[in-house]
Structure 1
């Protein structure tokens, strides 16, 4: 079983920590970015971190695993593989989180929501709301990294392999903007 120190070392080993001036999918700014895609592109590392998430939720007996595109696609697939259940993902259509590609969720299903990084919890909560709209039960949210500084707004219990305290700035108060540093937007939300 991996501990948080090992997960952090794995992220560092693939260059998944970036420093600079970033705009996150949440709209917040920060000086450090965790790009889990650099970890998830490595099948052996993906397998290791997703196995831990799967084992954490195995006792809750999920029927299906779902993640928001783009960061949750590989995580949903790999966690679902470990649990022996289907793995699907949501997409945005006209700015709204939705199921496409003939994916379905049935009323009463036990659903695990997963993603790579949680900053505000907005993407996870959008998926939770979608799933509950189908009459299914969300058993929890799992992620590789929680960088919310304890401020994520998620209506169900959540678990992350690694909690990282990072600076998050409201764009109007961002000291990096005030310094005129170039802004990079690596996230998936437009």
Structure 2
């Protein structure tokens, strides 16, 4: 799948939104990819995960013991990546503000993990999830996401693979262009800004 084919999947699901959006990072954007909508169809989610899995080099895919994703946004794509790779999928969540494995999830010491997210913008959540996986005994050998919105290189400390790169400018709340400032901001994601 190339970027246009992936965008077509988002358009078909009415998941490519235009307006004034507050991202999880607190930054603002004129475009938002609502991954929950694109992943709500299990056939589409499976197709996107299989395409993403194919972007990961075989030597990494074959070494993996588990997929771990951050809740909320990464849960569905993490599960589908587990299915595509034929390995267990679990997630970290923030019950007290810091990511941790819960619900009886556990990693064997030294387990090789693929950390999967829906969208990476600043890489902050990814790095936090990778840290939590390490604290739980896993070793993250690579990271992946459906969408790379970093608008440049991002250092997650491991190889990073994305199904699609989307370069959309982001702005601090106090540095909006006039056309964006004129539109009411909405927070479509799962986390308060």
Measured against the shorter chain, the TM-score band is over 0.9
1:69-80 equivalences in 2 (<5 Å)? 69-80=71-82
Cα shift readout 1:43-78 (whole Å, capped 9, x = no counterpart): 111011101222333431210001111111011111
Contact 1:89/1:99 (8 A) holds in 2: yes
| Structure 1 residue 167 displacement after superposition | 1.2
1:33 aligns with 2:16: no
Q: Which runs of 4+ in 1 moved over 4 A?
A: none
**Does the 8 A contact of 1:91 with 1:98 survive in 2?**
yes
Identify the residue that residue 129 of structure 2 maps to in structure 1: 127
- Contact residue 149 and residue 168 of structure 2 kept, 8 A: yes
State the match for 1:47 in structure 2: 46
* Aligned counterparts, 1:51-62, within 5 A: 51-57=50-56, 58-60=58-60, 61-62=63-64
TM-score by length of 2: 0.91
Instruction: Give 1:136's aligned residue.
Output: 138
The structure-2 alpha-carbon separation of the partners of 1:141 and 1:178, relative to structure 1 and needing over 3 Å to count, comes to closer
Counterpart Cα distance in 2 of 1:176 and 1:45: 37
1:92-114: per-residue Cα shift (whole Å, max 9, x none)?
12211111111112221000000
- 1:96 is aligned, of 98, 113, 122, to 98
Q: 3-state DSSP class of the match of 1:96?
A: coil
Distance 2:76 2:159 in 1: 21
- SS of 2:48's equivalent? helix
Task: Structure 1: give runs of 5+ residues left out of the alignment.
Answer: none
TM-score using structure 1 length: 0.93
The 2-side partners of 1:17 and 1:120 are apart by 20
